[in-house]
C-alpha cells in the first residue's frame, strides 16, 4: 500500500510536468502514505499539500506542508510556490535550481 502511494504520486507529477513544460514547480494535495508514513493530523483549517520542484526532467524534490484549506492549488504562481518551498523545505533542498 505504501509503495503504491509513492508510485502514484510520482506518476501524477510526471504527467503534470509533461503537460506543463514551462513549469518547474507545482503544489498539490498530499496522498496518504506518499512519504512512507501517515502525515500527522493537520491543524483545524489546514490541509496537507505537497510542493514539487522539478530539478531536471524526471528528477523531482517533494516537500509536504500544511496549507490553509482555502488555498486553491491552481491559483499558486511559480514564484509563490518557490517562496513557500524555500520556507518549508529541509536546508539541503532549499537552493536547488534548475
Element (DSSP H or E) covering residue 17: helix 2-19
Residue 47 CB neighbours (<10 A)? 15
Q: Considering only CA atoms, which of 30, 97, 95 is closest in space to residue 67? A: 30
pTM over 0.85: no
pLDDT digits (tens, 9 = 90+) for 21-61: 999 999 999 998 998 888 899 999 999 999 999 988 889 98
Q: How many CA atoms lie within 13 A of 88 on its CB side?
A: 20
The SS3 assignment for 42 reads coil
For residue 84, what is its C-alpha cell? 513557500
What confidence tier does 14 reach under pLDDT thresholds 50, 70, 90? very high
What confidence tier does 1 reach under pLDDT thresholds 50, 70, 90? very low
Amino acid at each position: 500500500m505504501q509503495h503504491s502511494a509513492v508510485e502514484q504520486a510520482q506518476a501524477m507529477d510526471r504527467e503534470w510536468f509533461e503537460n506543463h513544460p514551462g513549469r518547474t514547480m507545482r503544489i498539490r494535495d498530499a496522498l496518504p502514505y506518499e512519504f512512507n508514513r501517515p502525515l500527522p493530523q493537520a491543524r483545524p483549517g489546514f490541509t496537507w499539500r505537497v510542493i514539487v520542484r522539478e530539478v531536471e526532467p524526471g528528477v523531482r524534490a517533494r516537500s509536504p506542508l500544511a496549507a490553509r484549506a482555502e488555498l486553491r492549488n491552481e491559483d499558486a504562481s511559480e514564484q509563490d510556490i518557490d517562496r513557500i518551498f524555500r520556507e518549508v523545505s529541509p536546508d539541503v533542498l532549499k537552493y536547488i535550481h534548475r
